[in-house]
Amino acid sequence: MTNLGAVLQQLKQERSRLDKAIAALSEVTGSTKWNASMEGSRPQRQLSVAARKRIAAAQRARWAKVRASKKAN
């Protein structure tokens, strides 16, 4: 069996190297957040129940049209 202590030490060194690289990149981009791309985004909108029902009905109609065209062929 391999020397688990040596493997653990190597993993710790790799983690330390990656942490340093992440810190350097965070300084360059001016962000300390992991998900910097989401920083300026708008919050998600919530649809009303009526809007969800309209969308669902429209999608059901589209699928019905597809199924009808498949039966016709």
Read off the pLDDT of residues 12-70 as tens digits, 9 standing for 90 and up. 999 999 999 988 888 887 765 555 555 667 788 899 999 999 999 999 999 999 999 99
> Has residue 26 been placed in a domain?
yes
Number of domains in the chain: 1
User: What is the predicted pLDDT for the residue at 38?
Assistant: 58
Domain ranges, residue 62: 4-32+48-72
User: What is the predicted pLDDT for the residue at 55?
Assistant: 97
Closest CA to 34 of 46, 24, 42, 26: 26
> Has residue 42 been placed in a domain?
no
Single pTM value for the model: 0.40
Closest CA to 22 of 12, 37, 32: 32
